[in-house]
Amino acid sequence: MFVQLFRNKIYENRRLKYRIKRLESFIASNLTLLEPVIVKRLADLWNKEKDIDLGHFHFGGTRYKLFVEFYQLVTHGAPYITVGDKVFFFPSKDPEYVEYKTEYGDLVFIVDYWLEDVLLARRASILQTKKEKGKNKVDIKLHQQYLMQFWPPVEFTLKAKDVRPRKVRFCFPAATADIFSFYHFILNCQSGSPYSSSICSAHFVGEALKMSRWNVQRSIANWVKKKKVHPRANPPSRTLSIPLVPGGIYRHGKYYKWNLLVKPFAQFILDAAYLHVGTEQNEMLHLAFLKERLKESVILAMKVVGGREGREFRHRLNDIYEYRRKKGSAIGSGDTGTRRTRYPQK
């Protein structure tokens, strides 16, 4: 009930949609920058956004206020995790153990729905940013694609002094990656396009590359063997060549799943705000938060918060964002108890 009420208020709010459109405009003005710079400045812009008043609603005779908060859990460093998987190659009877390091996405995008101190819903999406190397052409590194599409077991070291790495095994089938695992394409080689970037699921990228899981595993296994002799050997890659501008892939009479299509960046954020994309899997969320504390990933958070009118204090001990200082906020970091809610600007 409350989740749908939150969605209705998001849908009705033009100011939120305008804010999201500004992100696309920012990318359009910075197409010549390197990928990491675009990601960092995009995150900084997100963190500077002021809260948005979504209005109010009545439920059970009680009036509730609703607003959106924007947070960046700012981090630095190379977001590397170790992918380790047993792979079987016919006709060999013995499995090969493939181990290598790769990125855990450039951005983790999280959307929360809070009703006072109760977390109603939380979903996370992983984004890997890639710039075009030619019109409608992008270089896809297979060791990243293997993680983004199939999500094999991973491990990482929480602290330098840790003796045993922490291991995470994901509990969802690979096909579900299309709802939370995405590539963010910077359209720097297009001309006359109304879009500066687009979003495409890693699952669809895998289908477009026409490479089976076995093919990807074999390429990675050969690379891992080569690295033992040549440590700086580049990982295998393939060129993705499909229409990267939203709408360009449509063909009359064909059936498409929405999550598998190339879509505008702004539309993706709205889909995430409605909770139409993203995963609730505890393993994925757990890894994202631990990696954040390691200062090894960038997390952008959108919090949709509702509260009874006149109730100006919320107890948020379980709120993961409270210890972060938001630019322009008078509230210091480290406050994890009862605090005064910042009212949004209208």
Asked if residue 335 has pLDDT above 60, the reply is: no
pLDDT-above-70 percentage for the chain: 77
Give pLDDT, residue 250.
60
Mean pLDDT estimate for the chain: 80
Mean pLDDT of 41-48: 89
Residues in CB range of 56: below 8 A, 6 or more apart: 63, 64, 65, 66, 309
Least confident of 20-24, 155-159, 300-304, 306-310: 155-159
Question: Mean per-residue pLDDT for 207-220?
Answer: 92
- Please give the Cα distance from 4 to 304 (Å, whole number): 12
Q: According to the model, what pLDDT value does residue 209 have?
A: 94
Mean pLDDT of 316-338: 42
pTM for the full model? 0.85
d(CA 307, CA 64): 5
The pLDDT score that the predictor gives to residue 253 is 61
Query: How confident is the model at residue 310, as a pLDDT?
Result: 63
Instruction: Give the closest residue to 304 by CA, choosing from 121, 57, 63.
Output: 121
Of the candidate ranges 177-181, 211-215, 321-325, the one whose mean pLDDT is the lowest? 321-325
- Hey, how many other C-beta atoms are within 10 angstroms of the C-beta on 52? 21
Mind listing the pLDDT tens digit for each residue in 27-37?
999 999 999 89
Binned at pLDDT 50, 70 and 90, residue 259 comes out as low
Instruction: Assess whether pLDDT exceeds 70 at residue 157.
Output: no
pLDDT digits (tens, 9 = 90+) for 240-249: 999 999 876 6
- Asked if residue 178 has pLDDT above 70, the reply is yes
Beta-bridge mates of residue 5: none
Distance (Å, whole) CA 97 – CA 32:
40
Tell me, what's the pLDDT at 172?
A: 65
Q: Which two tokens stand for residue 52?
A: 């948005």
Angle between helices 265-273 and 14-28 (to 10 degrees): 150
| pLDDT > 60? residue 333 | no
Q: What is the pLDDT of residue 1?
A: 80
Average pLDDT over residues 303-315: 70
CA distances (Å), 233 to each of 15, 145, 222, 305, 307, in order? 48, 18, 11, 48, 55
pLDDT at residue 219, rounded to an integer: 95
Predicted confidence band at 320 (pLDDT cuts at 50, 70, 90)? low
Q: Is the pLDDT assigned to residue 346 strictly greater than 50? A: no
Strand-pair category, 181-186 with 118-131: parallel
Per the DSSP assignment, residues forming a β-bridge with 240 are 138
47 pLDDT more than 90: no
Q: Pull the structure tokens for residue 66.
A: 């609703």
Query: Rounded to an integer, what distance in angstroms lies between the CA atom of residue 275 and that of residue 318?
Result: 20
User: Stretch 47-66: mean pLDDT, rounded?
Assistant: 87
Residue ranges of the domains in the chain? 2-307
CB neighbourhood size of 331 (10 A): 13
Q: Give the pLDDT confidence of 278-292 residue by residue, as tens digits.
A: 998 877 877 776 655
Ranges 85-89, 200-204, 250-254, 277-281: which has the least confidence: 250-254
What is the pLDDT at residue 255? 56
Cα(111)–Cα(302) distance, integer angstroms: 5
